[in-house]
Amino acid sequence: MALNLIKLCVGADGVDDLRNWIEFRLAERKAAGQDAEHLHTTRMVPKRVDEIIGKGSLYWVIKGRIQCRQRIVDIRPFVDTEGVSRCHIVLDPHVVLTHSQPKRPFQGWRYLKSEDAPADLSGGGDGIESLPADMRNELTELGLI
């Protein structure tokens, strides 16, 4: 069974803001002649990498709610120029919308078991994924979706 990570998406106003940031960073790397990878740098290195890489996702908490995820492609520990151990979490740039789920603030990342992760929005013709995030969140809080 896959193991996931969950992290606060600090500074993003919504999923579209996250997507724009990813596009910007990929364009920046490409312009610098680097591989077009989406990297998220964090201080702590997950210990359970075998359960995560290629199987798990990074679930993003935006505005107090889990709203989307990105598949984790790789985890690369490194030491920065100041000698501090860090970690690049390599993410698939495609952002998958999930059912909105409230989450209290926390620091860093946490493990998230698959059974505790919100399901992806289906895209099965019900149109939920096309609703604005605020409306989806409100409808979820009311128990309507």
User: Using H for helix, E for strand and C for coil, what is the string for the chain?
Assistant: CCEEEEEECCCCCCHHHHHHHHHHHHHHHHHCCCCCCEEEEECCCCCCHHHHCCCCEEEEEECCEEEEEEEEEEEEEEECCCCCEEEEEEECCCCEEEEEEECCCCCCEEEEEHHHCCCECCCCCCCHHHCCHHHHHHHHHCCCC
Mean of pLDDT over the chain = 89
Q: Which domain holds residue 106?
A: 3-141
The answer, yes or no, to whether residue 123 has pLDDT greater than 70, is: no
- Work out the pLDDT band at 82, boundaries 50, 70, 90: very high
Number of structural domains (the chain) is 1
pLDDT above 70: percentage of residues in the chain: 84
Q: What is the pTM of this model?
A: 0.85
Higher pLDDT, 127 or 111: 111
More confident residue, 133 or 121: 121
